[in-house]
Structures are given as structure tokens and as C-alpha cells.
Amino acid sequence: MGETNLIQEYKNLCDTIRYHMDCYYNQDAPQISDYEYDQLMLQLKAVEKEHPELISEDSPTRIIGGSVKRTAGVTVEHDVPMLSIQDVFTKEEVLEWVHDVRAMHPDVRFCVEHKIDGLSMSIRYENGKLSLAETRGDGLIGEDVTSNALVIPDVVRSISSDFNSLEVRGEVYMSHEDFDKTNRIQEAHGKKTFANPRNCAAGTLRQLDSGMVRERGLSMFIFNIQRSDPQIASHSEGLEKLKAMKMAVVPSTVCTTDDEILARIDAIGESRGTLPYDIDGAVIKIDQIAYRDDFPAGSKYSSGHIAYKYPPEEKEAVIKDIELSVGMTGRVNPTAVFSEVRLCGTTVSRATLHNQDFIDNLGIGIGRTVLVYKSGEIIPKIRSVVADKNPADSVTFKIPDICPVCGGKVVREPDTADMVCINDDCPAKLERRIINFVGRDAMDIKGFGEEYIRTLIDNGYLHDIADIYLLKDHRTELIEKGLIGKQKGTDNVLNAIEGSKSNEPARLLTGLSIPNVGKTSSKTIMKAFDSIDDLMHARIDQLVEVQDVGETTALCIHDFFHKESNIKLLERLKEYGLTFAAEKTETTSELAGQTYVITGSLEKFANRDAMVAFIENHGGSVSGSVSKKTYALINNDITSNSGKNKKAKELGIPIITEEELLSRVSE
């Protein structure tokens, strides 16, 4: 690799890691799993080891934690920096470190402890009373969260007179029980649920309302004495003194030999599934405090300990059933239902099986034991079958050739692994197609929810998407039966249906449920054709000339518009007044070649779609995420600490307001 490419790849890797650090530490919304993040950091460390000349002061290997959220509380400077722990991923690395310590201090003892997956917090005690609680922040400056800490049951408010002053550090976490309770409450109130206990704990501790902290329930383990007067000689002695003062301290075992250390690491790892809280590793600490400074780990990490990180969690589960559903294209979707297991802080009991090939390759069948994991620590997936636990009478599951919804014929599509119901009148296909048609990305018929759609299908009012535009003829009986609400609710839906007739043709195209044709591709396609009518008569060779339309998509479009039932459907939609030809909009090229990203609230445009249309009509394009290719980020709050703003600043991309965007275009 050339020098220029190496420098650019290094910068790209740093940018990627900084972005994910921001998501994890500052937004409590990680985009990748801990394991994937660790792999990126290992890759960066390897590059920096081979090319130390590339290392900059703002390298992620030198950054501690996240930034400070000033809106969450008063900022405070740490008396003792709250640094990270150096991670290792193999037991060989653990023993290498242990042997280095033992070579210098033959009498060394080690404490092996749970690495709690939560949010770090330090507590200061002066004159026997709790005086301050602070989050880690960037390692040097954190947030004052004293009022929130005081409502955490594990936090002790006063200590014995043995200490003139004391500062301890621990991990605030949420138990599985409290996490499940919080998510049930969130769901009951129609609010977004949390992905895992760590995110929930971090977001809760930063709340300005301590009542919210009390309601959700947080816990804390103390894992270190940061400073004390008088000083403590050993870590294990310190933990015992803290226990005597009724503090909840992290489970810790004193070990001397290699075998004892490795056995304890294994025991902690094996306990992961039975603990009432999440851990992501085992911490190995030098017990004698005086020895620790002899083993610094760099400016980012505190000295005298390392953390062994366990591989991604997997658990065995028994498949109880395999459910089949049918999508809008007729694709039969198999889903495994298995005995409940807890992974990454949540209980899971279902995972998609994709298709028959996936089932056959793994040998999945009802009654068989499988290994379940979470992709990205979010989506449950099946990794493999535990073959030696297969019941003698179990068989690999086969998707039947009869549709589970309508009883129609199911066939395997040529050149794919998909099993598809070929009955055009299948109710499941109709339901999904109508849901897609009225959805936000397509015709955007507000208030027309899934329950109403199912009810109208069951009562014989909807047989295809065109029937939506005949519902106005049944207004009186719809109100009398209450199928889509009372009079006001019914009229709101009917008015929204009527208003959708004026939608641009790209929305109609999205709503037709043509395979491989979504919101973005529909816009691109309708820029190449004057109307839906023109598109209907397009040849395959004309279609493949359209940007981002490959041969497969072109065939899907061509086949759809040449199917007799679809031709009749489109004739009805045209008859009912839907827009087939877009109004000619004058376009200019002031923004040609410029890609924008939009975030935050709008002031000059009615909505996000209106701004997107404005940019595109002036030759520009819009993307959903900030990257090196972004020309500018549009945000009226330029000083915001949002993830997109931070990403733009890191990449040196301008952040502009709506006013500035408008000023670039001549009216």
C-alpha cells in the first residue's frame, strides 16, 4: 500500500472508531456490538504499532471515554483521572502480563473480578459524608450526578470515621429485572424501549430528574478505591473495609498462581447466564497497591490491571415450533420459536430462519437444540445445531408446498432460495401490499393503520389496493359499523385517501410493491420517465440504462407491468384520479454534484420531503448519513452536539443553516 493510501486508510479507521465512540459514550445508542468495536480498535493498534509516525494526539487509542453532556449536570474535574482498562482477548495475553508483573515482584497477588457492563461513577466522601458523585466523562472532566446517586440504594451516604476522606469508583448498572420492568413501562406508554441494560442505565443516570432514576431502579458495584486518607496497602483489604461500611463491592477473588487466575476467569465466564446483571469480561488486578505504578499501560489506561474480554455470548435453546408467515410478494418466511434464553441483557425466544437453504445447511428442526447469539448484540440469530443433542425422531424442517394462509400452491422461485405463494388472491399478500401502499414511504395515507386494513379485508371491503379509493362510497356504513373509527376518525381517513391522489408518481410506484423497487429507486426511475404510462411500455434495455437499475430489477418492473391483473389494477387507479404523470418542475444546476445531509428541526421548509425536493430540483442529492462524500450538513442548530454535527466536524464538513442553503440558489 502506498504512503498516501496508508495515511487515508488510517484516517478513515480513526474516523470510524470516533463515530462509534460517540454513539456509545455520548448518545447511549451503539451502532455496532462491543466485539465489532473491539476488533476495530485492535486493527488500529496494529497499524499504529507498525507505523508509529501516524499516531496523532486525537487518536482513538489515546481518547478516554466520551465527552461531557453539559445539559445533564454541572461539570466537575476529577481529583483522580477516571481512565480506562487495557483490554486483552486471549488467555495467553493475560499470562504474558501476569508473568511480567511476577518477574518484578515475585510475591505479587492478583484479584480477579467481574467486569460489570454499565456506566462508571466515582463518589467522594469528606468528613464521613457523601460530598460528590461524578460520571467519567472524558476521563478528566465528568458530570455532577450527586442528586441521582443519592437515590441509588447501593450508594452509601455516610462512612465510618476510619477514613478522613475517601474516593471510590464503581459501575452503575441495571439488573435484568429492573431493565425488563422499565421496558414494560416504556411499552405501555407507547415509548421506545431500550436495546439493553447498559444503554438504559447510562441514559437514566444522566437524567435531570432524580425521580426518574428512583423509578427505573439503578444499582452499583464499587470496584476500586481511588484515594483514601489513610491509604490502603492492598486492593483486597480495601474491598473488605468497604464491605464493612455496607458498600456493595464487585465480586473479587484473590489468586496467586496462573492456574488459579485462569480457573477464576473461566468460572466468571461460565456464570454469565446465571447472573442478575450483565458482564463483558473479567478484570485482573495487582492486589498490592504499591506495585501498580510499575506497570503503566499508556495515557488512556490506568496502571496495574487488565481486562480479559469474553467472546460474544451464545446460549443453547430448544426449538419448540417453526412459524410461517407470508409477505407482500408471497414469500413464505420461516421463524424459529425456541425456549427462552437471555442474551445481552434481554430475553429472546424467536429468530428468523431466512429460507429453506438456511434451514437445510444448519439442519434445523423442531425439537433440536441450537446455539443462539445476537448479531450486533441486538438481532437474535441461530449459529448452529448442537447435533449430539438431536432427538432420535427429529427431522430437518421442510417448508410445505401449501400456503399457510390461503392454502394455495407454494413453489421455489427459480435461481433463488425463496419459497413463494403463487395465489394472487392470498389474503396475506394483500394485507402486506396494502400496508406498503398506504405507508409513509409510499402514498403516506395518515391514520390508515394495520388494524383498519385487516378489518376492512376481513369485512370484504378491500380486495386490492384500488379498492381503497372506493371506500368513500361506503362512508355511512363504515361509520355505522365503526370499522375505521367514529365519524370524525372515518372522515379523517377518507380525506387522507382522497388527498393521496395528488401524490407524485414516484410514491405510487413505491406503493405497487414491485420487487427491488423501493422509495429511493422509485424516485430515480421516475426521473427517467415522464409518467407511469411511459414506464409501463419501457423495454428491458431501456430500464437497465436507468441509474442503479440492474437486470434483475428491470425484469421485475417489466414483468409487473405486463401482467394482465396488474394492467387492470393500474387502469382502475388512473380512472380513480391518481397522478400518473409528474408536473414538469424547472430544474437548475446550482447544487450539481453536491450531496447534503439534513438533521434537526426545519424553519423554512414545510417538512423534510420538501427540502429534499428543493435540493434535487437544483441538481443536488441528499444522503441519510455524514461521510467524506458529504458536501455540507444542514442543521439550523450549528452548535448542537448531535452525532451528525460531531461527525461533520471530525471530517471537516461545513454545517450550514436553511438560510445558507437558500442563499446558494438563485430564485
Q: Which residues are marked as active site?
A: 115
521 is in an annotated binding site: no
377 is in an annotated binding site: no
* Grid cell for residue 543: 430500464
Alpha carbon distance 517, 540 (integer Å): 15
**DSSP 8-state symbol, 322:** E
461 is in an annotated binding site: no
Alpha carbon distance 556, 599 (integer Å): 34
Phi, psi of 314 (to 5 degrees): -130, 145
- Close Cβ partners of 168 (under 8 Å, ≥ 6 residues apart): 122, 123, 125, 222, 224, 225, 226, 242, 247
Phi, psi of 191 (to 5 degrees): -100, 165
- Please give the span between the terminal C-alpha atoms of the chain, in angstroms, as a whole number: 48
35 is in an annotated binding site: yes
What is each CA distance from 209 to 142, 182, 403, in whole angstroms? 18, 16, 53
* Grid cell for residue 383: 449459529
309 is in an annotated binding site: yes
Alpha carbon distance 557, 573 (integer Å): 18
Contact (Cβ atoms closer than 8 angstroms) between residue 506 and residue 578: no
285 is in an annotated binding site: yes
200 is in an annotated binding site: no
- Close Cβ partners of 391 (under 8 Å, ≥ 6 residues apart): 367, 368
Beta strands in 413-464 (DSSP E): 419-421
Q: Is the peptide bond before 251 cis (omega within 30 degrees of 0)?
A: no
Given the C-alpha cell 439550523, which residue does it identify? 636
171 is in an annotated binding site: yes
DSSP assignment string, 206-256: T-S-HHHHHHH--EEEEEEEEEEES--SBHHHHHHHHHHTT--B--EEEE-
Burial class (CB in 10 A: 0-12, 13-18, 19+), 659: exposed
β-partners of residue 123 are 133, 168
Burial class (CB in 10 A: 0-12, 13-18, 19+), 554: buried
426 is in an annotated binding site: yes
Instruction: Let me know how long the chain is.
Output: 667
Alpha carbon distance 326, 332 (integer Å): 5
255 is in an annotated binding site: no
* Grid cell for residue 104: 518484578
Contact (Cβ atoms closer than 8 angstroms) between residue 490 and residue 484: yes
β-partners of residue 279 are 116
* Grid cell for residue 579: 397522478
34 is in an annotated binding site: yes
Alpha carbon distance 424, 401 (integer Å): 16
Burial class (CB in 10 A: 0-12, 13-18, 19+), 246: exposed
36 is in an annotated binding site: yes
Given the C-alpha cell 461545513, which residue does it identify? 654
| Amino acid in position 314 | E
Q: Which residues are annotated as a binding site for Zn(2+)?
A: 403, 406, 421, 426
Q: Which residues are annotated as a binding site?
A: 34-38, 84-85, 113, 136, 171, 285, 309, 403, 406, 421, 426
Q: Which residues are annotated as a binding site for NAD(+)?
A: 34-38, 84-85, 113, 136, 171, 285, 309
